[in-house]
Amino acid sequence: MPSALLSVWDKTGIVEFASELVERGWDLIASGGTAKALTEAGLAVQSVSNLTGLEDMLGGRVKTLHPAIHASILARGTDEDMQVLGEKGWSPIDMVVVNLYPFEQVASQPDVDLATVIENIDIGGVALLRAAAKNYERVTVLCEPEDYGPALNVQDQAFRYHMAKKAFMKTADYDRAIADYFQKGDGLSAPLHLTFYPTLEMRYGENPHQKAAFYSIHPTGGPLGGELLQGKALSYNNILDLDAAWRAVLPFEDPSVVVVKHLSPCGIASSPRIADAVIHAIASDPISAFGSVIACNREVQEDFVESLGDLFVECLVAPGFSEGAQRLLERRQNLRLLRMPSVKVYEEFEFRSVVGGLLRQSVDQGDPELSTNWQVVSRRPPTETEMRELQFAWKACQPVKSNAILLARSRDEDLFTVGIGGGQPNRVDCVRIAGDRAGEHAAGSVLASDAFFPFPDGVEVSAELGVTAIIQPGGSKGDPAVIECADAAGMAMIFTGVRHFRH
């Protein structure tokens, strides 16, 4: 009769699975709490202690670490290996069912002590998984309850190979989690271990001749950790634009909307009514808004959909969509809806691939301190309205590609961009682009620049556009000339002391 060794921390479904095995003629071997659970369910179980002739040792730290167990798992199906087992009085084990102590869950708890963490490092379970996976040609290894059902119906070598691969991935992830815990606090001197799971295969990448897939930090993670509610599968470019739009809208506390095209924000607005914000955001650059991705930090409702008009939009991302809004949006067959589980910035670091390696940096979450460090450097201070517009413009400017220039205005309680320029090799060109986008709305607007103006030329162009106030980091050798130019034009100017490059 075939035999199965069961030793699980998570006992979900284990009694039912073991009962099915018994009905199909399997003998059961189990350790510790697993043996107790199966015995209480009325199943005949041989304990590991009975098989090895030794009781659990060291308070349960040593249970399955014995030749009688590992030889019975690792024995190949050859006459020679079976003869060795027979001489020892042991029988082959044909299935190993193991899941591990919850190390990551315990280690991630706030204020957990080191002794508790160490006691949740599984030793025997990892050894069992590796032994069974190594001998997959004869032994079936199961490390997740979700695999119990398939294992009852499939016992061919292809299935065992797939389960072995899964077990090796499980033990590798487990060891990495332990290593990362003990290297915590070592900063940049510690090796970087990254594990991502392919959850979405794409037809192609940025262009049809490029292959692409989305890899999630979770085995079943959706795009950006969200849920696709409608529309065809997301493309590589869709996900890039969705990421840019979602990152751009998260810093805003007021109801806000960001419109993104080709990774560049082309319209940003805040308003007490999210339906008004989307109107302003689209109006910032209606040509670029065609075929764009739109992100908002509030639930999308019917009035929001009505504000879109007949604009063609590739994707909408939001924390939720009302039933009425979804019914209206279902008519747009090519529109994707992505619902995000949270509006919190939960990533601590971001990575970019370069030839031969990765770059890692902490996520730019805005000014590291409150705006108390801002300094009015012009003769004329900003008006109350200008200050409110400058505060909005400074936050809205940060996700724009450098050299970032953003023009903003307000109407009643609404704040919105009227022109955005970025991604050019020099800042003056970005001022001109923003002015071209704004047209007649540039006059009377305020300007935000992600980095300092090295020369007065950018300020001179701003004055020609009719800009009334500027916010920028300052810190250039040319600051005195830049301030003098602003004073000559009657503009207010604020230095923030913080740069927000986004290459």
Distance between start and end Cα atoms, the chain: 65
Overall CATH class of domain 371-495: alpha beta
Which residues 6+ apart lie within 8 Å of 251 measured at CB?
A: 345, 365, 366, 395, 398
3-state secondary structure of 52: helix
Q: Do domains 238-339 and 371-495 have the same CATH topology?
A: yes
Taking the C-alpha atoms of residue 3 and residue 366, their distance in angstroms, rounded to an integer, is 60
Reduced to 3 states, what is the DSSP secondary structure of residue 450? coil
pLDDT at 196: 87
Q: Can you tell me the distance from the alpha carbon of 342 to that of 443, in angstroms, rounded to the nearest whole number?
A: 38
Measured between alpha carbons, how far is 488 from 179 in angstroms, rounded to an integer?
61
What's residue 406's pLDDT? Answer: 97
Asked if 492 and 376 count as a contact pair (C-beta separation under 8 A), the reply is: yes
User: Which are the catalytic amino acids?
Assistant: 134, 262
Q: Position 133: which residue type?
A: A
3-class DSSP state of 500? coil
Q: pLDDT tens string for the chain (503 positions)?
A: 788 898 888 888 888 888 888 888 888 888 878 888 888 888 888 877 767 666 665 666 666 667 777 788 888 888 887 787 778 787 888 999 998 888 888 888 888 888 888 888 888 889 899 999 999 889 999 999 988 888 888 678 888 899 999 999 999 988 888 888 888 767 677 788 788 888 999 999 999 999 999 999 888 888 999 999 999 889 999 999 999 999 999 999 999 999 999 999 999 999 999 999 999 999 999 999 999 999 999 999 999 999 999 999 999 999 999 999 999 999 998 899 999 988 877 678 889 999 999 998 888 988 886 556 899 999 999 999 999 999 999 999 999 999 999 999 999 999 999 999 999 999 999 999 999 999 999 999 999 999 999 999 999 999 999 999 999 999 999 999 999 999 999 999 999 999 999 98
Chain centroid to CA 141: how far?
30
pLDDT given at position 62: 65
The pTM assigned to this predicted structure is: 0.80
Burial class (CB in 10 A: 0-12, 13-18, 19+), 118: middle
In 112-184, which ranges are continuous DSSP H helix?
114-119, 124-134, 148-153, 157-183
Is 261 in contact with 282 (CB distance < 8 Å)?
no
Angle, alpha carbons 153-155-156 (nearest 5°): 125
Instruction: Say what the pLDDT of residue 338 is.
Output: 96
Domain ranges across the chain: 3-188, 238-339, 371-495
Q: What is the rounded CA–CA span in Å between residue 280 and residue 63?
A: 67
Q: What is the CATH number of domain 3-188?
A: 3.40.50.1380
Domain 238-339: top CATH class: alpha beta
pLDDT at 270: 98
Cα 259 to chain centroid distance, Å, stands at: 21
> Quick one: CA dihedral 341, 342, 348, 353, positive or negative?
positive
Residue with tokens 């199909």: 24
